[in-house]
Amino acid sequence: MCFSAGAVGPAEQRFHANLSGMILQVSVKPGSRVENLDRDLSGKWIARVLAPAAEGRANESLIALLAKHFDVPKRQVRIKTGHVSRVKLVEIEGVLPDQLRLFE
């Protein structure tokens, strides 16, 4: 299933849901001065993490950031694709699309 997660139009960000949770596309900015998870005007998820993009440290920080933001254990957050890319597909178990608005 594919759902709109924000603004309407050609630039709208999408996420996918399955029975156990959802999959988000997240753009990661490693080595940032502040650590936060935000959405731009088009609805795209942007994660800023303090850790550098070396030896998987930015990925570990991303998982911790998403787990904290969506109030789930880190074991329920998994990077599906993009382990060495700044754009990643991340699966979050236990959070469904209708709950997404609670976290905005």
How many secondary structure helices (H) and strands (E) does the chain include?
1, 7
Residues 89-99 have a mean pLDDT of 81
Q: By mean pLDDT, which of 18-27, 52-61, 62-71 is the weakest?
A: 18-27
Q: Which amino acid is at 42?
A: S
pLDDT of residue 44: 86
Q: Look at the block and give the residue holding tokens 């382990």.
A: 83
Residues 69-94 have a mean pLDDT of 94
pLDDT of residue 19: 60
Cut 0.95: pTM above it: no
Is residue 13 very low, low, confident or very high in pLDDT (cuts 50, 70, 90)?
very low
pLDDT of residue 82: 95
Q: Look at the block and give the residue holding tokens 């608005």.
A: 101
- Rounded-to-integer distance, Cα 53 and Cα 72, Å: 24
Residues 14-35 have a mean pLDDT of 84
pLDDT of residue 41: 86
Give the domain extent around 26: 2-103
Give the count of domains, the chain: 1
CATH of the domain at 37: 3.30.1200.10
